[in-house]
C-alpha cells in the first residue's frame, strides 16, 4: 500500500503528528486550532487524546484515553498522587495500544493526519515506558513526526530558550523521529530571534552573556553542541490564537513525513 519512491513498505498515510510541549506552551489551544484548520481545509484528520487527567477538551477526540482509563479511580485504587495517577493510567492504556493502531489502520484510506495530544506534564510522556511504547507503535506502522511546541514569548529569555532546545534535542535523539520546532504565540512575539539564535550561536552567546549567572556559562557552552542539532530540525512560527502559520505547519509536517519515508 505504499506509494512514492521511498524504499519503505509503510503506508504513506495517515501521517501521525505527536504534539508535545512544556506545560503552558499552548499545546491544547494549538491542537484545537489544528483541528479547526483540518475542518476548514477539508483535510481528513483524526484526533487521539492521551492526557488522562484533562478535564475538558476544546475539540472532539476520536480516540480518548479517558474513555478507557478513569484517572481518578486509578489514583484511588493504587493510592497514587496526581503524576503517578497519570503515569499509571497511561501505562494501562499502553497495554491496549495495538487496538488503537488497528482502529487507525482500518480507517487509513480515509485519513490524512492523526493529531495526538499528550499529557500536560511533558516528561510523563517523553520519559516513560508507555510513552516510548506508544511512540514506537505509531512509528512502526505509519509515518510519524513530533511537533515540539515552544512558548515563544517566554523563550526570549536565553536560558529558557536553551532549556527548551535541550528538551527538544533529547526528544529528537530518543525518538529518532523528524521533529518540528513549533514556535507558538507569535501573535505576542515573533520567532525571528529564535531563528537567528539557531543560525548563529555567537548571536545567541551575546544575548546570553548579559546574564552573568552560572547557568549562563553553561548555556553558552551548550550552544556549540546544539549547532549540529539545529541542522536536523524544521522550525515554524504559529499562533494558536490568531491561526497564523497553519499552512507552514502542515508543509513542515509533509516535508518531515517525506524525510521519514526516506529514512525508515
Question: What distance in Å separates the CA atoms of residue 175 and residue 198, rounded to the nearest whole number?
Answer: 21
126 touches ligand GTP (CB under 6 A):
no
- What mask, x for binding ligand GTP by CB under 6 A, covers residues 187 to 216? xx----------------------------
Q: Which one of the spans 71-79, 98-106, 180-188, 212-220 is the region binding ligand GTP (CB under 6 A)?
A: 180-188
239 touches ligand GTP (CB under 6 A):
yes
Task: Give least dist CB 227 to ligand GTP, A.
Answer: 28
Q: Which one of the spans 41-49, 81-89, 139-147, 185-193 is the region binding ligand GTP (CB under 6 A)?
A: 185-193
164 touches ligand GTP (CB under 6 A):
no
Question: What distance in Å separates the CA atoms of residue 30 and residue 88, rounded to the nearest whole number?
Answer: 26
Length of the chain, please? 264
Question: What distance in Å separates the CA atoms of residue 54 and residue 27, rounded to the nearest whole number?
Answer: 12
Smaller CB separation from ligand GTP, 56 or 210: 56
Question: What distance in Å separates the CA atoms of residue 235 and residue 178, rounded to the nearest whole number?
Answer: 11
Question: What distance in Å separates the CA atoms of residue 210 and residue 220, rounded to the nearest whole number?
Answer: 11
- What mask, x for binding ligand GTP by CB under 6 A, covers residues 21 to 60? x-xxxxxxx-------------------------------
Contact yes or no for 153/240 (Cβ under 8 A): no
248 touches ligand GTP (CB under 6 A):
no
175 touches ligand GTP (CB under 6 A):
no
Task: Give least dist CB 26 to ligand GTP, A.
Answer: 3
Q: Which residues of 151-164 are buried (b: 16+ CB within 10 A; e: fewer)?
A: bbbbbeebeebbbb
SS3 content of the chain, % helix, strand, coil (to 5): 55, 15, 35
**Residue numbers of the site for ligand GTP (CB under 6 A)?**
21, 23-29, 120, 184-185, 187-188, 239-241
Amino acid at each position: 500500500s505504499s506509494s512514492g519512491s521511498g524504499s519503505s513498505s509503510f503506508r504513506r498515510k495517515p501521517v501521525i503528528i505527536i504534539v508535545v510541549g512544556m506545560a503552558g506552551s499552548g499545546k491544547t489551544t494549538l491542537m484545537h486550532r489544528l483541528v479547526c484548520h483540518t475542518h476548514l481545509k477539508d483535510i481528513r484528520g483524526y484526533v487521539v487524546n492521551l492526557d488522562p487527567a484533562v478535564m475538558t477538551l476544546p475539540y472532539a477526540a476520536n480516540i480518548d484515553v479517558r474513555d478507557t482509563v478513569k484517572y481518578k479511580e486509578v489514583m484511588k485504587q493504587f493510592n497514587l498522587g496526581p503524576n503517578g495517577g497519570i503515569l499509571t493510567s497511561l501505562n494501562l492504556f499502553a497495554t491496549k495500544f495495538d487496538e488503537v493502531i488497528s482502529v487507525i489502520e482500518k480507517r487509513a484510506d480515509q485519513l490524512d493526519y492523526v493529531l495526538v495530544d499528550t499529557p500536560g506534564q511533558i516528561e510523563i510522556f517523553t520519559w516513560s515506558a508507555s510513552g516510548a511504547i506508544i511512540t514506537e507503535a505509531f512509528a512502526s506502522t505509519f509515518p510519524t513526526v513530533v511537533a515540539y511546541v515552544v512558548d515563544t514569548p517566554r523563550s526570549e529569555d536565553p536560558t529558557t530558550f536553551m532549556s527548551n532546545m535541550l528538551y527538544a534535542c533529547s526528544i529528537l535523539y530518543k525518538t529518532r523521529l523528524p521533529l518540528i520546532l513549533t514556535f507558538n504565540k507569535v501573535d505576542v512575539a515573533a520567532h525571528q530571534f529564535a531563528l537567528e539564535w539557531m543560525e548563529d550561536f555567537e548571536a545567541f552567546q551575546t544575548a546570553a552573556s548579559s546574564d552573568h549567572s552560572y547557568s549562563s556559562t553553561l548555556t553558552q557552552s551548550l550552544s556549540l553542541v546544539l549547532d549540529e542539532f539545529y541542522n536536523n530540525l524544521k522550525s515554524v512560527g504559529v499562533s494558536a490564537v490568531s491561526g497564523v502559520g497553519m499552512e507552514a505547519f502542515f508543509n513542515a509536517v509533509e516535508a518531515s513525513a517525506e524525510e521519514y519515508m526516506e529514512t525508515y
